[in-house]
Structure formats: C-alpha cells, structure tokens
C-alpha cells in the first residue's frame, strides 16, 4: 500500500476544497452575511491541512487499483467531514451528524435533507449546499485530473473508482484531456441552463443554485416547496436539463466530434429515452383525473419521471399522493437510474441492458445447449469480465439494500418508509415515499440510521466497491 501517495492525494483534495469554500465567502460579501466567516475559517484550515499533506511529492508515485479505491473513498469522506463543519460553526445545523448527513447528501448528489426550513439558511450556506452537488456530480477527481497531472498513466485508477457505470474509457489518448473534455461539456451545459432560467425570469441566485442541482442531478432546492412555486416555463427547462444530464457524456463528445453523429444509435441512450417515454405516458394516464387537464398531467409526469430516473430529486407536486401504479413506476425507475457516464445515480441503464441480455442468453442456452452466444451492445461484444462485474455489482447492491433496510428498521417506521429511504439514498435520489416523501425529510431517523443512510449515499455514488473495500482488512496490508 502506497501510504505516502494516498496522503499526497488527500492533501490536494483538501486544497481544492479550500478553494471551493472561497465561493460561499464571496456570496456572503455580496449579501453582507457574517456566516461567511465560517467558510473563511474553513478555507484557512483546509488549505493548511492540505499543504501539510501535499507539500512534498512522494518518491514512489506509482499506485494501483486498490490504492485508487482507497484514495477515492477516503477523499470523499474527508471532503464531506470538512464540508460539514461550516454548518456547525454557524449553528445553522448545530448537530454534527445532521450537518454531515446534509453534506454527504450534497457531494453524493443525493439531495436527501434533514432540514425542516431550508429558507432559514443564509445565502452563502444555500450556495455551498447546492455547489456541493455541482462538484460531486461530475466528480472531484475528474476535476483534479483535468487541471493536474497525477502519477502518469496510473491515474486511470482514480477515474475508474469515481466514475459511474460498468466501464470507463478514454475519449482521447491522454486521460487529462478526457477529464478536461468532460468538465468542459459539464460547465457549458450548466451555463446554458442558467441563461435559459434567467430568460424565464428566475432570479440570478436561484438560477445558479438550481442549475447546480440540476447539473449534478442532486436536487437540493432553496425553497421549502422545492420547485413548485416557479412558473411552468422554468419547470419545463429544468425537466429538459435533468434528462439531458442523465445521458452518457460520451454521447455529447461524439456529437461535438462528428457533426453527423446520431446519439440514438447508442443502445443505452435509446433504452434511456424509451424508459422515460413509457413511464411518462403511463403516469400521465394514471393521474389524469387528479389534475384539471391532460396537459398538466403530462407536464407533472414528465417532471417527476425526469427527476427520479436521473436521480435529481426535485419535485413540483407531492407524488406521495399519486395512485399506487404511479408510485410503483417511480420506485422502479429510482433503481434503474440514468446512463453510465452521466451525473445520475442508480444501477444504470447499461447494466440493466446487460442483465436482460444475459438472462436472454441463459434462457436460449437451456433450449439450445450447444449454441454459443455472445452479448453485444452497439454492435460490439461485451467481454465476460464486464458481464461478471455487472452480476457481482447487482449481488452487492441487493445485499447492501437488504442489510440497510434491516438496520434502519430499528427506528420502527413502516416498510414503505424504510424501503424507499434506502432506495432514495443508495440510488442518490433524495425523496422517497411515506414519511420520507417529497414534502417530508430525513430528520425523523435516529443518528444510527442516519449513519447507515450516509454509508448508502457514499456507496451509491462510488459504485459500491470503493466503500466496501474500506472494510476489508487485507487491503490495508503492505504488499
């Protein structure tokens, strides 16, 4: 285990987080809020700690997959702990457990909250809360790799550990350029959304924070009713961008690189939009008698389906009051999630495709034992290690889900609350049903249950295995 390299990387993560904390300080200056001093204090502390760990470059800069997993897991934990401290210092969230829950929910783009009155927070804290979504959406290491070369070719282990989906590939030969391209697309799309929200007459501060939550598919609103009070044009813009940020960013690169590229040739993209279309139509039909007209039913269905499948978690209505069919569809697409290589959470559409194709292959093998079939996506063979990885991921997912449900059941809430609370955190969505519905929050859980759900949020964002490996004694041993 290359401990010196792990410390070095952690130091850089802390320095970057310190720089990020200057932004809420600027917001505090604009709105003349004294709470900005908490972020200034944390800037000094984080930068000092970061400099202490990273001032000297290790002699041995080579690290492998297991160090990559450890670096990513520890970095997200450290980043969350330091990111939570301003809330405690300002006493806007006095409990460290609650502040940590809110911050982990932010960085993992979950959007689950313990706040009963979001609007009571200062502007700088609201900004920081939403900005954690934007940082966590594409991933802090994607950002670091875009501006800082690390350990030569070995830094792909960092990208693989943090990026969502069954496989991470390079868009261009150099990984640093790949990271720069991803963040460039991410930044431009965010700016475009902000401009469109401003045109739709949303205030500047609201436009920036809501765009951060949309881009990172996080869902922290700055109003107690989430997005409900904004006009229908604003809601429609957010709907479109939630769905767009759930698309694999490789597809956008293809559009930029090849003028005649058709992203719908990508099988995952077709499935993604197909699932969205089918879900919207079913829910529209199901809730048509609950709203004044079919147009409003379609608009509400489209917003909530876009919000849930991309694991954003914004809401315009209390879908907890919808018929059972609609609620079951939402829970199902919670687990499916967005595309691999997007900012969305969930199992990922690509994994669902591979699982279905593997099931079909096994059924055909029973009928024709001597036949040899290979699973293909986009005309290319999916190698057996990837199929095996998807299967193992699903097994780990089910085990974590089941254990989490059992552990939080000690709070004695109903099954629907427990089941959807784990679904909302493990899939990085935010709202669930019943006591954790879109008009409720997670403050009712005990500290123990909150820590279980925090683990679920981190595990879901980091694709399960980096967090699970922290509990393996063998990984901490020297080579």
What is the Cα–Cα distance from 302 to 294, expressed in whole angstroms?
12
pLDDT value at position 298?
A: 97
What does the chain come to in residues? 479
Q: Which residues of the chain have pLDDT under 70?
A: 1-2, 60-65, 140-176, 259-261, 476-479
What is the Cα–Cα distance from 70 to 1, expressed in whole angstroms?
10
Tell me the three state secondary structure of residue 35: coil
Burial group, residue 231, by CB count within 10 angstroms (0-12, 13-18, 19+): exposed
Q: Measuring CA to CA, which residue among 446, 444, 401, 443 is closest to residue 425? A: 401
The answer to whether 58 touches 8, Cβ cutoff 8 Å, is: yes
The answer to whether 297 touches 280, Cβ cutoff 8 Å, is: no
Report which DSSP code applies to 164.
Answer: -
For residue 347 the two structure tokens come to: 């199992």
pTM beyond 0.85: yes
The answer to whether 336 touches 352, Cβ cutoff 8 Å, is: yes
What is the Cα–Cα distance from 440 to 456, expressed in whole angstroms?
19
Euclidean distance between the first and the last CA atom of the chain, given in angstroms as a whole number: 6
What is the Cα–Cα distance from 328 to 312, expressed in whole angstroms?
18
The H-or-E segment that residue 380 falls in is: strand 380-381
pLDDT in tens, 180-204: 788 889 999 999 999 999 999 999 9
pLDDT in tens, 223-272: 999 999 999 999 999 999 999 999 988 888 888 877 556 777 889 999 99
> Residue 203: CB partners within 8 Å, gap ≥ 6?
none
The H-or-E segment that residue 376 falls in is: strand 376-377
pLDDT in tens, 105-128: 999 999 999 999 999 999 999 999
pLDDT value at position 48?
A: 94
SS3 readout for 238-274: HHHHHHHHCCCHHHHHHHHHCCCCCHHHCHHHHHHHH
The answer to whether 302 touches 319, Cβ cutoff 8 Å, is: no
pLDDT value at position 449?
A: 97
Tokens 């079909």 map to which residue? 360
pLDDT value at position 155?
A: 53
pLDDT in tens, 286-296: 999 999 999 99
Query: Helices 140-147 and 175-199, interaxial angle, to 10°?
Result: 120
pLDDT value at position 73?
A: 87
What is the Cα–Cα distance from 185 to 203, expressed in whole angstroms?
24
What is the Cα–Cα distance from 319 to 322, expressed in whole angstroms?
5
Give CA separation, 391 vs 352, 354, 358, 381, 388, in Å: 10, 9, 9, 17, 5
Q: Measuring CA to CA, which residue among 159, 133, 72, 194 is closest to residue 343? A: 133
pLDDT value at position 90?
A: 94
What is the Cα–Cα distance from 16 to 205, expressed in whole angstroms?
23
Tell me the three state secondary structure of residue 381: strand
């Amino acid at each position: 285990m290359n401990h010196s390299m792990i410390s070095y990387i952690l130091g850089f993560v802390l320095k970057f987080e310190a720089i990020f904390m200057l932004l809420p300080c600027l917001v505090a200056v604009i709105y003349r809020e004294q709470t900005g001093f908490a972020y200034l204090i944390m800037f000094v502390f984080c930068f000092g700690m970061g400099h202490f760990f990273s001032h000297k470059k290790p002699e041995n800069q080579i690290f492998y997959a297991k160090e990559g997993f450890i670096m990513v897991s520890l970095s997200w934990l450290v980043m969350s702990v330091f990111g939570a401290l301003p809330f405690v210092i300002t006493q806007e969230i006095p409990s460290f457990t609650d502040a940590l829950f809110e911050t982990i929910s932010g960085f993992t783009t979950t959007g689950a909250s313990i706040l009963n009155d979001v609007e009571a927070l200062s502007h700088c804290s609201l900004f920081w809360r939403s900005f954690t979504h934007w940082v966590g959406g594409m991933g802090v290491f994607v950002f670091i790799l875009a501006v800082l070369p690390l350990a030569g070719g070995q830094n792909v282990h960092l990208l693989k550990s943090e990026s969502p989906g069954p496989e991470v590939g390079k868009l261009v030969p150099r990984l640093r350029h790949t990271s720069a391209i991803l963040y460039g697309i991410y930044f431009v799309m965010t700016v475009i959304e902000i401009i469109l929200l401003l045109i739709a007459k949303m205030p500047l501060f609201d436009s920036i924070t809501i765009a951060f939550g949309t881009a990172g598919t996080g869902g922290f609103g700055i109003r107690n009713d989430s997005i409900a009070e904004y006009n229908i044009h604003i809601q429609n813009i957010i709907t479109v961008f939630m769905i767009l940020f759930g698309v694999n960013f490789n597809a956008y690169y293809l559009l930029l690189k090849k003028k005649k590229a058709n992203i719908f040739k990508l099988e995952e993209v077709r499935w993604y939009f197909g699932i969205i279309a089918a879900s919207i139509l079913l829910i529209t039909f199901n809730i048509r008698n609950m709203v004044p007209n079919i147009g409003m039913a379609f608009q509400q269905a489209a917003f909530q389906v876009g919000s849930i499948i991309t694991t954003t978690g914004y809401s315009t209505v209390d879908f907890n009051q919808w018929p059972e069919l609609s609620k079951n569809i939402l829970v199902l697409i919670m687990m499916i999630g967005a595309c691999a290589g997007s900012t969305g959470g969930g199992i990922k559409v690509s994994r669902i495709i591979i699982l279905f194709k593997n099931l079909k292959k096994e059924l055909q093998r029973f009928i024709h034992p001597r036949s040899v079939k290979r699973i293909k996506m986009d005309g290319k063979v999916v190698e057996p290690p990837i199929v095996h990885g998807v299967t193992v991921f699903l097994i780990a997912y089910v085990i974590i889900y089941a254990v989490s449900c059992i552990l939080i059941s000690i709070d004695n809430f109903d099954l629907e609350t427990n089941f959807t609370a784990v679904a909302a955190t493990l899939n990085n969505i935010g709202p669930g049903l019943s006591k954790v519905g879109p008009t409720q929050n997670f403050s009712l859980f005990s500290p123990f249950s909150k820590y279980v759900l925090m683990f679920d949020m981190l595990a879901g964002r980091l694709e399960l295995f980096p967090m699970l490996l922290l509990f393996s004694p063998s990984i901490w041993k020297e080579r």
